[in-house]
Amino acid sequence: MKKKLLNIFALSTALVLLFSGCKTQSGDGEVSSSEPENNNSAMGVSVDPNSADYWISTLESPDEILMNEQEIIQYNQSIIGTEGTKCVDLGSYPEKLSKSELTALLQEDKPSEEDRYIGERKADSAYYAQLQQNVNLAGVKEENPVRYGYVIDNAPLRTFPTWDPSYEFESDIEFDLFNETVLKVWEPAIILHESTDGKWYYIQSYNYRGWVNHEYIALCEKAEWEKYLSPAEVLVVTGNKIELNQNLFSPDISGQKLFMGTALPLVPESEVPEVIDSMTSESGYAVYFPTRSEEGRLVVKQALVPYNAGVSVGYLPYTRRNIVAQAFKLLGDRHGWSGQNESRDASGLSMDVFASFGIRLPRNSSQQKLIPGERIELEGKDDSQKLSELEKANAGDLLATTKHVALYLGTIEGKPYVLHSIYTVYEKNGDKLEEKLINAIVVSDLDTLDSDGNTYLADSIALITPKA
């Protein structure tokens, strides 16, 4: 989603200290808390909008399984089958593209007609012509076999094959508009094309398409690629982010950062050696980790994820308690446009939270609002009708607006609250609207204004429970 679409919120005066009462994730996937649970009742739990415990206490059935593992697999397929989500089934992707098919894909992204700055330099037609040359349309053949690979490091996916930033204005350094998203370690990729300079792959991931620097992709044959598409067991990162141990024996794994929702294939217990990279394997979870040879080929190594890391053997149970607990682990992070700042924008937040359960959401808010599920339609209703509908909803639903997506929490004294990633908000000062910088993941109410003077509540169009 674009920056101007985020500028619609103001912080509630009810905000209190960040992080109070936040959940933590233990290594076995169970959600733990420093505060006592209250048997699904808000009584005895302080009314604190920044407390995961408070919102969980308002739920009637926080531990009800919303979908089991098989239902989630079927649900992911239903997302792929929903028009407009731009999610694809990589396992059934064509093995080759015709010249017209590949050319059409490469030409979908066009230079902006608005002023853009490459650092302090204004982009001109000559600059965009150079970019288009590196897209390598001349290299498209009559038939174009696809190649296969895996992401070996958290990989920025770019609009064009360049590291050059694209800013709306010179100092807008937190909004590189050539950055589309960040792909996680072990994400499968289908390589469709290569840039003229040979440094970039044009790839298709499950929910996005764009350019990735070749150093982030390890190529492999299709048979090996398919081997890791659906591992028997996975270790899932359920913390905000974790970091592997420093490791002089495997520099390409040493200190690797992994973000919420990353899934690593587990080494079968019978195949775990006593020592991995000069550490006892009894010190952590043994996983397979993708690395890249000097020739750019996939080399799968064994690595240890420390037992003290925020991880779960298998995906977390898909319950409302866990949705809320996962979301509050991100509270207070810096806003991260398309994955910048090692953080998340609005749709990136929901994508990572639901990835903890194995649910594979589309990338952008405009696509997430199309997903199937149990929906409460809000479009066309007035504010009082919307508030009445929201009173029926539960913490953990996705609240979609025409411009944004947020995680719905519930109401306090009739005022609805959400957890979301936002950059700026607006406040009225007489007849004028003034912009206020937030640049964080926060809890706020919906009684705030966008750049047109409308409240976020008035702009709400649907409340969605991702469910088969």
- Over its C-alpha atoms, the chain yields an Rg (Å, rounded) of 23
Here the contacts of 98-105 (C-beta below 8 Å, separation 24 or greater) are: 98/142, 98/143, 98/144, 99/140, 99/141, 99/142, 99/143, 99/144, 102/140, 102/144, 102/192, 102/193, 103/137, 103/140, 105/192, 105/202, 105/209
User: Identity (one letter) of the amino acid at 152?
Assistant: I
Composition of the chain by helix, strand, coil, percent to 5:
20, 30, 45
CA distance 288 to 299: 10
- Start-end of H helices in 301-395: 320-328, 346-355, 365-368, 383-391
CA distance 336 to 225: 30
In this prediction, residue 42 carries a pLDDT of 52
Q: Which is nearest to 157 in space by CA: 213, 224, 99?
A: 213
CATH of span 3-67+318-465: 3.90.1720.10
In this prediction, residue 18 carries a pLDDT of 35
Q: Which is nearest to 349 in space by CA: 409, 425, 260, 235?
A: 260
Query: Residue 378 gets which letter from DSSP?
Result: -
- Start-end of H helices in 260-333: 320-328
For the chain, 468 residues long, give each residue's pLDDT as a single digit of tens: 434 333 333 344 333 333 333 333 334 444 443 333 434 445 568 999 999 999 999 999 999 999 999 999 999 999 999 999 999 999 999 999 999 999 999 999 999 999 999 988 999 999 999 999 999 999 999 999 999 999 999 999 999 999 999 999 999 999 999 999 999 999 999 999 999 999 999 999 999 999 999 999 999 999 999 999 999 999 999 999 999 999 999 999 999 999 999 999 999 999 999 999 999 999 999 999 999 999 999 999 999 999 999 999 999 999 999 999 999 999 999 999 999 999 999 999 999 999 999 999 999 999 999 999 999 999 999 999 999 999 989 999 999 999 999 999 999 999 999 999 999 989 988 889 999 999 999 999 999 877 778 889 999 999 999 999
pTM comes to: 0.90
Fold of the domain spanning 90-227: SH3 type barrels. (2.30.30)
- Reported as type and span, the H/E element at residue 264 is strand 263-265
Asked if 425 and 8 touch (Cβ cutoff 8 Å), the reply is yes
CA distance 388 to 377: 12
In this prediction, residue 283 carries a pLDDT of 97
**Which residue ranges make up each domain of the chain?**
3-67+318-465, 90-227, 234-313
CA distance 198 to 76: 34
- Reported as type and span, the H/E element at residue 457 is helix 456-459
For the chain, report the end-to-end CA distance as a whole number of angstroms. 26
User: Identity (one letter) of the amino acid at 33?
Assistant: S
- Quick check: do 3-67+318-465 and 90-227 share a fold? no
In this prediction, residue 43 carries a pLDDT of 54
In this prediction, residue 411 carries a pLDDT of 96
